[in-house]
Every structure is written in C-alpha cells, then in structure tokens.
Structure 1
Amino acid sequence: MNLSIRNIAAPVTAALVCTALLLASLAMSSLLPFALFIAAGAGIAGVFLAFQKPWIMVFLVAAGSYMGSLFYFAEDFFLPVTLFQFFLFSALALYLLHKLWFNSFEIRYTGYELPVFLFLALIFLSLIYSPDRESGLVNALRFVFLLIFAGYVINSLSSAKLTAAIIAMLTLIAVILSAFAVTETILNPQIAIENLTGGGINVRRASVGALYHDPNRFAAILFMPAAFTFAVINSQLELKYKVISAFFFVVLLAGLFSTFSRSGLLSFVVIILTTVGLYKNWKMFSLFSLAGLVVILLIPQLRDALFLNVERVIEVLFGTRDDSSGIRVMLGIAGIQMFIDSYMIGVGFDGFSERFTNYFTLQESIGVYEPHNITYTMMAELGLAGLFFYLFYLYVMSYHAWQNVKLAVTPFEKVIATTLLTAFAAYTLFYQFYGGALLDSNLMLIHALIFVVYYQYLNRKSSGT
C-alpha cells in the first residue's frame, strides 16, 4: 500500500502544481509563467531520462544535424553554436556522467580504430607543412569531434529498431523541409518564371529560408530519407506503409527538384537504381516511372522544374556552357598538379585552397578555390597515403553496408540495411562533385548506423536467434 502511495504521489503533486500555476497565470492574464514552468519541467525530465538512457540524446543530435543553421546560441560571441553542436556536447557530457554514475566503462569497438588513428596522425603530421595551419587545425579538430560523435552513436544504440526510429524521424523532418522548399520555389509563380527564362543557368534555388546557405547541402540531407521511403515502397511490408512512403518520396523528390542540385539529382538516381536492383523490381519500377513521368508532364510547375534539372545535369556531365562546369574541371586539374608537384606527399591538410592560386587565378575561377571532389582532395592534401586511406574507407563501409543486406532476415531489416547502403552510395557520388565530406555530420551518422546494424545482425546470427 505504501508503495502504491509513493508511485502516485509524484504525478499527483505535479498535476496539482501545474493546475495551480495555470490558474494563477490565467488570473494574471498571462500564460508566460505556466509556459516557462512547463518548459523547465520538460527540460529537467529530458535531462534525467537522457542521463539514464543515453540513446535518447542521439535523436536530438541527429535532428539538430538536419536542422542546419536554424538556431544559433551565443550568436553575439566569437563562436556561435548550432543546434547540432549544442546537443552533441550535451549528449557527450550526459553520457560521461552516465558511465561514471553506473560505473559502466564497457566500450563497443568497431575493429577499425587503428586505421582511424593512423589517418588522424597523417592529418596532424601534414599540418606541419600545410600552408593554412590555422584553418587546418580547426577542421582537423572538427573531424575528431565527428569521429567521437560516431563512437557515441555506436555505443549508445544497440537496436535496429532504434536505428529505424531515427531514420523515420529524420524522414519526417526532411519531408517537412521539402514541402517548405517546394512552396518557396517551384510553386512560387514569380520564381518559377525567372528560373524558366534563365535557361537553367541562373536559377533561384531553394535553401529553406535561412536554414541552409547552400542548396546542395539541403539536397544532401534528403538522401537517407529518400532511400528509406523508396526501400519501403519496394519492400514486402504492408500496403499502408508503402502508400505513406510513396507520398513522402514524391515530396522529397519535389524538394530535390527545388534545389536544382545536379550532384543531388545524380545521387537520387543512384539510390533508385540500387534499390530496384537489390529488390529486383525492374518491371514495377518501369511502370511506376512511366506513370510518374506522365503526371509530371501534366503539371506545368513540375514539368518546368524537371526540364531545368535535366538540362543542368547534362551541363555538369558534358557541357561547358555554365561557369560551374568549367570551374570543376579547373579545380580537378589543380588538384592533380598539387599531387604531382608535391612528389605524391600532398600539400598538407586543408592546404588546397591556398595552393590553388599557384595554378589558376581567382579571376579565372571566378572566386572559387575550395575543392569540389573528395578523391582529388585526398590526393592533393594528403598525397598517396591519403588516397590509400580513402579507398580503404570506401571498402570498409561498402563491405559492412552490403553485409547488412545479406544478414537481414525480415523485410523490415532489409529496408533498414538497404537504406543505409544506398544512402552511403549516394553520398559517395555526391562528394565526387562537392567538397566538405570529412565535416559532414549526416554522413558520419550513416557510418555509425551501418556499424550499429551490422553488429546487431551479426550477433543475432552468432547466437542463432
């Protein structure tokens, strides 16, 4: 009886306090005290739950990563902090307190810690001769924190269902952002007319307000949600899940069209073709693709967006009509020259931009000097050793992502494995046309989830369950 009283005492007390505060707020004609109390109570409860169960914070960190630059804390100070950074440092602090409080110091390893440490050693060693040591050191430390983030995810999640929940949450966020982006551009008559008359060169691209400064970055966050929804469409799951996923996928595709990202569109093609190949649904894919194309051609806004995207993709692959295509070639030539001129040692981590002016002027590149390809960036900055590490990384991640597909037993498991494999493939292609792969928190999350799923599937197979 005493136990029952203790169980109900806390919620009853909380309900009485909330009711009293609400009545006082109404009497003062202001709900601010009540709102502040609820916010404070929710925050304290959230911290307590996250302290007991570290995996809860993974959801917040992942959501913060997808929210880009929505909020900045301490904006007036020297270093503004994004939602992702705020949640990540909070999560790491709570995780450390959890380990100390429960005296649990067991760490889950991937088996590839030594190559990672060697790669980090190469990065910091190259800073000795890098022409931009200050920027290189900052970005190297950012990369280290992203590795810590991956380790935190791997050690916090132990269930494929949690992985699926995270992917589903990120999918919902991406669908909402895509819908906003579509209304911002494709469904905006003024912008649609400007883009159409621009001939595919000077287009106004969706960046979801101030959330993403670069439309290509926004396009990249759609990869895993698109891979997830398209995998569900091709899977053996129930029809109701397929219908919901089909609707979400169309919204995501429209969101991609609104960015006019050529590298993003090519990455979507990789997701679609790889997924259809894994499920062997070529006949169904052909029928639905034809039906979808007819629908797009019947809707003027979508038809114009499709033609503009196709035109831009053709340009980036074969043409030189726009400046972007020519600059990418220029950057690639400079990267190869750096690799050769440094005797295959590299110019130093983050030194590409400084060394670029030795080969081309900023007038020739129209002010662009950042590398737009991860492969020649590794070659130019870290030399032959950097290229070896990058190829080894591709092998490791591809191997484990593919093993997840092979180890999957149920349709649900195959959807998760297919999502991670195709999303990784999409990012790999995307960063052959764009820079910043080492500092992409969303890509690092995919790396971590691949290992989480792999070790759960492998342990299940080993135990015979």
Structure 2
Amino acid sequence: MMVSADRLGLPKRFIEQWPLWLVVSVVALQPVGRLPEVPLLVMALFGLKDLVHGRQALFSNLGFRLFSLLFLCFWVPALVSLPDAVNLEKGLSSTFGMLRFYLAGIFIIHRLDTLATHRLLSMAVAAILAFWALDGIVELLLGHDLFGLSSGSSLYITGIYGDNKRLGYALVAFLGVALAAIVSNKQLLLGVFFSMLMAFVIFISGTRMAWLALAWFVLIAAIVLWYAGYRPNRKYLAGALVMLLLVGAVGSQTPSVKQKVSASLAAFNGSSLDTASSGRISIWQTSVDMFSDNWINGVGVRGFRYAYADYSQPDDMFIHGEEQKIGAFHPHQIVLEMMAEMGVIGVTGLLGAVFIMIYLLKVLAAHTHRFSFLYAVGIATLLMPLGTHLSMYSSYWASLFWFLAALLFAAVRAEGIGPNKA
C-alpha cells in the first residue's frame, strides 16, 4: 500500500525525488562504518529492475556504456585471477560482491537524469563536506569534535570519523561533486572560500595520502583547463596562491602536520626511506616480488595480505613488528596492487580504465563548466598511478569509487554528452 505525500505531511516534490535523497544518504552516512552499504544495497535492487525494464534506453546511452566498460576493466581481471587465488573464498566474495556496486551504479545513471537533480545533489554534498570540515576544525581547537569524538592521536584530525582516519581522503574524494554546483553557477568567491576550507582540513587531517590526492586533483584540473585553452586571470591566480600559502602556514603549526612532515623528512636526517614512508618501500618491494612470481594473473584479488609473508624480507616490519603478524593488507599503490593481485591482466585493465578517463576528459575539455567535468577530475584523481590510496577492491574504497563513477556517468547522461554532442 502506497502512502501519499500529503498524508506524510511532506511536499510531493520531495517524495518524487527519493532517488536523489537515497544517493545523498550514501554520502551523509560515510562516517558511520559500513552503514552506507544499506542505501547502496537498496539502489542495487532497484538497479537490477532498471536494467531489466530500461535496458534499451540504457544501452543507447554513452554514460551507461562507458560506466560498463570501466567496470569491466576492474571486474574481468578480478575474475581471471580466481583460478590461482591464494585465498579463493576472499577472492570470490570480493569479485562477485562488486556486482552490487555495478547495479547501484545503474540505478544512479538511470534515475539521476536531469541537471536540476545534479545541482541539488552537488549542493547537498557541499553542505555535508562543509559540516565535516568545520567539525574537524572544532576537534583541532577543543581536542574533540561536536559529538565528543576524536582520533585519540596527535597525528590525525578525524572529526566526525572518530578513530577512523578517513576524513582527509573522504573530503578529496567528494570534492569534485561538491564544487560542481558552485562552479556551474560561477560563484567565484564561494568557490575559493570552500576550496580553501577543504584544503585546510585535508592538510590538518595528517593523512599524507590525502595531501597527495589533493595535489593530483588540482594538477589534473589545471592540465585539462590548459588543454581547453583556459588561461587564468593573473590577479585571481596570485590571490589563490596567497591563500594557499596562508593555509599552509597556519596548517603547518598544528601537531598533526608537524609530526607528519617530520616523519616525511626523516629520510633526509639519517633515517631510512622505508621508516620515513611508514614501511611503504618494504610493501612495494614485496609487491614487485609477488608479481615476478605470479606475473600472468597474480595471487588473486584481495590475496595480497595472505601471500605477503611468503615474499617479505626477513626484517619486514609488517611481519616481525609489534602490531601485525600476517603482513601488510594491500600494496598502497594502485599499479602495484593490480600487478601483484591480477598480474599483467590487471595492469591491462587499469590501462583501459585510464584511457577511458582520458577520452572522457578530452570530450569534456570543451565544456569545463559542466558538472561532469569536475566529477571526472575527481575520478581521475582516484585512478592516478602515483596515488597511495586504499585498495581498489576493499569494501569501503570500492563502494566509494563506483558510487562516484556512477555519479560521473549519470551527469554525462543528464548533460546529453555524446561523441557528436561534445
């Protein structure tokens, strides 16, 4: 039995836009463990329905076709890696579990099909990110956030994420979506203020992965804008640089940044590069050795941690250290992850994904005011080969990546972008 909007006391338009609010809830629930999986599962169920009943309209759409190709670039290598997986159970659950993200993406592409919807989405995401950022600043000033949460460590500012260190890279991941409405409405001052707020909190979060991701975001946007023929006003550019220096100067005085910078500079003060990089060099060396021994299809998706001990060095801190006995969870580098877990087949899939993004960015270069442009910059940032983010196949990062990818291709559909329409 359907309940009318009038009986609920809600505006009819609010009820009609339930797909939008379901999508927004995925963002809003990010700090609450695995709770975002609930709306994603609901979307996956409706996505299956949309695939069955709306397949003709979907298959004729560029956004859906590109989303499907991008998904296959990661799903097929995972599937092919299963015969030689060191942990078949983990490989099976990760590979076939990815299908729920694909179906949820179909729901998003099919239902978020108007620019008005994307404008509301972008504004809602911007409000959520602004709240997270201000909450993080409260933690910096008081030692705990508005809800009494804290990281429990001077190394990190986590705000609403509590003892989880995801605040910094969650802000980077959703930055393109949040900026889209501001940029499309040409609200320059608001855009600059919002960007500086995000940059400051990402900086003080103490997560070096987030620092690098933010740098990639800015660099990719700048390269595409330059390719599109855009030349920034020198006054605006100088003003932005001054504000960035101010953000850096203030942020560098916080304990989280001081300690992270000191750790990063330790390699120049006599400490080993491995120690300065929190053991990344050991992990990467182990990844290369693992690939050398399993170069065709790797050790299986999400099998890195289970094969780690067999390829680690005798003094490896992740085997013989105090905190872990099984080894590093993942390679902390997307190319090495594909190499170690899925071999040359995985690297081929990653190259295919990169080419898809390059193609789309070229298409969008002529229309940098569009929502899909900033969405695409955000996704390209997550795919950067020199990134050090989480595993592409972990439940959290995979759900985040495919959610954002679906938003990108939903915007491509909403904006009517196609080979002859760019």
Same fold by TM-score greater than 0.5: yes
In 1, Cα distance between equivalents of 2:99 and 2:141: 41
AA paired with 1:188?
L
Q: Which whole-Å CA distance do the structure 2 matches of 1:249 and 1:312 have between them?
A: 27
- 2:343 is aligned to 383
Q: Deviations over 1:330-384 (max 9, x none)?
A: 1111111111112433122221111110122685223241221121111111111
Fraction of identical pairs, as percent: 16
Deviation larger for 397-406 or 56-65: 56-65
1:42-441 correspondence to structure 2 within 5 Å: 56-70=18-32, 82-94=34-46, 106-109=56-59, 110-111=64-65, 113=68, 116-117=71-72, 120-184=75-139, 186-188=140-142, 203-209=154-160, 211=161, 213-215=163-165, 217-227=166-176, 237-238=185-186, 241-277=187-223, 278=225, 279-281=230-232, 283=234, 284-294=236-246, 297=249, 310-311=261-262, 320=272, 323=275, 325=277, 327-360=279-312, 364-365=317-318, 366=321, 367=324, 368-371=327-330, 372-406=332-366, 408=367, 414-429=369-384, 432-439=387-394, 440=397, 441=399
Q: Determine if contact 1:263/1:430 at 8 Å carries over to the other structure.
A: no
Distance 1:118 1:300, change over 3 A: closer
Q: Structure 1 pair 88/114, CA: closer, same or farther in 2 (3 Å)?
A: closer
Distance 2:267 2:154 in 1: 15
Match of 1:259, as an amino acid?
S
Could you report, residue by residue, the CA deviation over 1:401-440 in whole angstroms, capped at 9, with x for unpaired residues?
331232x2xxxx6152331232123222487313322342
Contact 2:337 / 2:391 at 8 angstroms: preserved in 1? no
Q: Supply the distance in 2 between the matched residues of 1:463 and 1:391 (Cα, whole angstroms).
A: 26
Distance 1:143 1:65, change over 3 A: farther
Structure 2 CA distance for aligned equivalents of residues 392 and 213 of structure 1: 36
> What SS does structure 2 have at the residue aligned with 1:260?
coil
Contact 1:352–1:380 (CA<8 Å) still a contact in 2?
Answer: yes
d(CA) in 2 for partners of 1:378 and 1:243?
41
Q: Given the superposition, is the C-alpha separation of residues 292 and 325 from structure 1 closer, same or farther in structure 2, using an over 3 Å criterion?
A: closer
Q: Deviations over 1:37-73 (max 9, x none)?
A: xxxx47xx799976xx5x63244234324522527xx
Secondary structure in structure 1 of the residue aligned to 2:36: helix
Partner of 1:111, secondary structure, is helix
The CA distance in 1 between the partners of 2:5 and 2:340, in whole Å, is: 62
Shift in CA distance, 322/169, structure 1 to aligned 2, threshold 3 Å = farther
- Partner Cα distance (2:416, 2:73) in 1: 27
| Further displaced range: 219-228 or 128-137 | 219-228
How big is the alpha-carbon RMSD for the aligned residues of Structure 1 and Structure 2? 3.9
Give the secondary structure class of the aligned counterpart of 1:273. helix
Matched, 1:450 2:408: yes
SS of 1:222 mapped into structure 2:
helix
- Structure 2 distance, partners of 1:398, 1:431, is 16
Change (3 A) 1:323 1:459: closer
Letter aligned with residue 369 of structure 1: A
In the alignment, structure 1 segments of 5+ residues that lack a partner are 1-8, 15-40, 72-81, 192-201
Q: Which amino acid aligns with 1:226?
A: L
SS in structure 2 of the partner of residue 354 of structure 1: helix
1:229/1:302 CA distance change after superposition, 3 Å: farther
Unmatched 5+ stretches in structure 2: 146-152
Shift of 1:249: 2.2
In structure 2, do the counterparts of structure 1 residues 391 and 305 end up closer, same or farther at CA, with 3 Å as the change threshold? Answer: same
- The residue that corresponds to 2:150 in the other structure is none
| 1:141 partner amino acid | F
Q: 1:414 to 1:212 in 2, by over 3 A?
A: farther
Greater Rg over alpha carbons, structure: 1
Whether the 8 Å CA contact 1:274–1:422 is kept in 2: the answer is yes
Q: Which stretch shifts more, 108-117 or 330-339?
A: 108-117
Higher relative contact order (CA 8 A, sep 6+): 2
Offset of residue 287 of structure 1? 3.1
Q: Which amino acid aligns with 2:379?
A: F
